[in-house]
Structure formats: C-alpha cells, structure tokens
Structure 1
C-alpha cells in the first residue's frame, strides 16, 4: 500500500463527502478510491467512515485521524515547495530593518555587497532606533541587538557586542582614569538619548554594581554625543561598535573594561514561517557569512 496516496485519498473523501467526487478530484477511478480506502482502514485496524447507500460520514476514529493526515500532506507539500524555491534564483522585493548607527556602519555595506551579487533583488532598508514589529510593519528581515522576546520570530546569531565606557584622553589626563565604577559617581556624562538613564550598570564578581552619574550634556542622537565625548565633555557609555573607530584613532579611550556587563547578542531575525522566499534565505545566509561570529 502507498500510505501517502492512501492518506490523500482519505482526505479527499472527507473533504468531498463522496467516493465518486473524491475519485474525480484525484483523477482516478471509483474502484481505485475504494481499494485505497480499504487498504488504509486495514492498515490502521479501524473504520474511518460510516458508509450507507445514501450517506458517507466520518467515524470517531476518522475525525481524529483527519487533522493528522492533513498535516502530513501539508508538510510534504511544504518540503516540495522549499526544494523548488532553493533552485530558483533570489528575486523580488526584500525589506530589511536595523538600528540606525549599526545599520549605517555595518549592515548597509553588507546589503550593498549582497545586492551586487543578486541583481534581481530589490531592497528597502529601514533604519530605526526602536523595536520594530516585523509582522505588523511588513518587514522581511531585521538585524537586532539584544535578546529576542517575540516567539513568533526566529533569531540566528551574528555575534555579540559590548556596552563600554569611554572618555577622551585629554579628559582622562585632567580628571584621572577611573579604577572602579564607584569612581564615576557624580561625574559628568554625555548622553546620546534624552531619556537615557543616569544610573549605569556594571558587573563585579558575579554581582551588579549601579552607579549614578551627573548629566552635563545630552542629545537625542548618538553621533553628536560620541563626538562631544571625544571632545572632552565627560564620560559616555555606548555600544562598542559605535566608538571603536574613534578608539582606533586615539580620540577615545576605553575604561573599566573589567566591569562591563555581559555582551549583547546581535541577531538576524525573521518571521517563523514554514517557507521563506529564496531571496530571504539568501540574505540570511549572506549576513551570517558577512558577520561570521562578530565580536566587538
């Protein structure tokens, strides 16, 4: 017995409500449908339908078996479609979101290289410093910094980044290099968000250390805050990727590295769908190769 074909026959009979109509839908003969159903019932050891000359209805066992049979057929169809999609060249519209500065510095160049490889893909890139709801906003893929809380999404790791504290060499020469987080208490800080907390979180020996600083200068955007910090306006706390270029240039110095909180994950996220378009799968694979265990 071909069990898969027998399941198809059973589902068609249940949906059509008739052996004859099921045979027509399957493009086969009525005797073939009858034989297939009989073989499936014999295999399962139960009757799946009540049959009279006038009426056909599911038995209790048939009602229980129907959802499972449908799931098996849908899964097989999905596997077929996925394999066919893999053979197709990535094409069509792809909408991507990422944090503003990380997107500008790292994601956008990677997307440009992806587009140069796949000339049939069209791409829209949305840079936001807020949590974006991919499903509600019609976005295919996101790059997210931090833990994923939405169970309707899938996250694949790209790497990790750190939360660091920096100041300019001139500021440190004038005010001294802090040796412990408590040395920052009350000192002026530069904030890249108006609502950014003045209490900074550090870790020491497995415990959390909270330190409250003073606010001297605040912006509603990170870039000018980082520049102000490099100009000697005080300490700043930023993600490592945001300040590493200035650290490399000698305009900023990292401090209190031994007290940093655990690194945050960077992930490529997308809706939890059984099938993804070839362009989406290709982009996810591209980003994983581009970042390849990012550590900053």
Structure 2
C-alpha cells in the first residue's frame, strides 16, 4: 500500500484516538482504516496501536512514529505548495496563538495588516492565558513570552519585556508606597497566573530576594488582574507592555522598579520545515518586524 496514505491514516487514528473518528475524517470505511493500520504494523514489524473496547491508544513506538509521520507529511505539503507556486500569493488557513492581552494589543494589528495584504488567507487566532501545544493543536505560529521550553520548535527572538509591579495611584495614596519587596506582605496582592504562576516572587536589584506572597485574589486572565488593580484593589505584577495605555494615562503607576528581575525574552515559535509555507513565512516576517519596532518591546520593555 502507498506509504504516504498509510501514514495519513495512522496520524488520523492517533489524533482521533478512534478508528471510527479517523474513518470520518478521511472519508474511508472503518474496515479500510483497520486494514491500513494492520498493514503498517506488519510492514514495520512493530505494534503501533493498542485497541481496547472503548478507545485506541498509541504504544510508545506509535507515539514516536506519529511525530515523525507528522513532520514528513508537513514537509510533503510544504514541498507541494512551493512546487505549485503558492509563494506568489499566500492562501489557506493560518492558526496563531498568544496570551490574551498581548495578542489583542500586539498580534491583532499585525493580523489585520496581513489579511489586508493577503485576502485569500483565513486566520484562526487563539488569544488565551494558557499555552497551546503547537503540534497537538495544529497551531502554525505562537508568540511566547518568557524562557523557552526545550522542544523541536523553531524560535525567532524579537525582543524583551519588563515584568513590573503596579498599582492605582488612589490605592497607593491610601496604603502607602512599598519601599522594599518585603513591604509587599502588608499589601493586598492581585496575582495574574499567566505572569506570576508561583506564590514565591523573585526580585533583582543589589540584593536579589524572594518574597512569599499571599494574594487576596488570583486570576487566570491578565486582563482581569489589570481591571482589579485599576479598581484600586491592590498591587499586581504584570508585563509593562500590557499596561502601556494605563501607565501613559496615569491610571496605574510602577513601583519598586529598582528591584525588577531581568527582562523576559519574547520569541515567535513555529514548526516550519526547510521549505516553509509562504503564508507562515510571510506572517512571521510581518510579525517580527512589527514587534521589533514596538517601543514597549525593547526600549522600555
């Protein structure tokens, strides 16, 4: 049987965790899907799939083989695009992810510009305060703030951002301005899980220190943390670029800037092979030049 066909069927079974799901996705009969998997296992001489009455699981060898198959199928699709001259006019579906407030402020303007330039592209934008797995969730491009996990993804450095402590002026007028990180124990703390996932907050300065926080409010959304601090609830640690408008308008102010940690790097992550589809390459080029030119990405953080 055709090797590429077998790989496509196997990847569909692995992703759907179901022979029936794979048959629906590929518009094949369940029997044809089952035959393909049996043929592949026979050809390789290794068990790839564990079948139970309820669902299908991949063996360890199957997991590794699925990752390799995905890369091979992606390379074939990219090679076909290049050969067909798709480079001339990007088209097709593009999936992008970033954190909620960062995506809205920084990535959305780039997407609008990109879609004006390339109207034949359709974009899905996932702006979430939780990381998406690019491979498992078929995401083409992600913007990652913070230190990179070890992975096979390609990363393009585009700048760095400050993590700052901030509060509303009226809160500070009522409760006083902390002079040292340890003073934060006497204040109401709003924790944004995406920016400060740990209760132990690290600080830089002349004597690096760690302070254990007891937040009065922990939220999973950075936007919610910003709203709570604007309402005068307390002090939060946020990315400077997320609160640029509030700082400029004087609705928030930065405190303890002498104790900030080193800035966090910002990378564009993608899965492109050596060919690279034109829509992904074109978007990364536009996004990288836009982010590198942004004042809150490099000069002020």
Settle same-fold status: TM greater than 0.5.
yes
Q: CA deviation at 1:109?
A: 1.6
Q: Secondary structure at the match of 1:215?
A: coil
2:194 counterpart of 1:198: no
Structure 2 equivalent of residue 113 of structure 1: 113
TM-score by length of 1: 0.67
Q: CA deviation at 1:283?
A: 0.5
2:291 counterpart of 1:291: yes
Structure 2: any 5+ residue segments left out of the alignment? 1-77
Structure 2 distance, partners of 1:124, 1:214, is: 37
Q: CA deviation at 1:198?
A: 3.0
Structure 2 equivalent of residue 38 of structure 1: none
- Asked if structure 1 preserves the Cα contact closer than 8 Å seen for 2:95 and 2:140, the reply is yes
Q: CA deviation at 1:115?
A: 0.5
Structure 2 CA distance for partners of 1:146 and 1:219, relative to 1, 3 Å: closer
Q: CA deviation at 1:85?
A: 5.2
Structure 2 equivalent of residue 261 of structure 1: 261
Structure 2 CA distance for partners of 1:215 and 1:171, relative to 1, 3 Å: same
Which of the pair has more CA radius of gyration?
1
Structure 1 distance, partners of 2:123, 2:85, is: 19
Structure 2 CA distance for partners of 1:148 and 1:184, relative to 1, 3 Å: same
Relative to structure 2, which stretch is displaced further, 187-196 or 274-283? 187-196
Structure 1: any 5+ residue segments left out of the alignment? 1-77
Count of residues in correspondence between the two structures: 218
Structure 1 equivalent of residue 274 of structure 2: 274
- Asked if structure 2 preserves the Cα contact closer than 8 Å seen for 1:187 and 1:213, the reply is no
Q: Secondary structure at the match of 2:107?
A: helix
| Partner deviation per Cα, 1:2-61 (whole Å, 9 max, x = no partner) | xxxxxxxxxxxxxxxxxxxxxxxxxxxxxxxxxxxxxxxxxxxxxxxxxxxxxxxxxxxx
| Partner deviation per Cα, 1:242-273 (whole Å, 9 max, x = no partner) | 22211111111101111111111111110151
Structure 1 distance, partners of 2:80, 2:116, is: 29
Structure 2 CA distance for partners of 1:81 and 1:277, relative to 1, 3 Å: closer
Alignment root-mean-square deviation, CA: 2.5
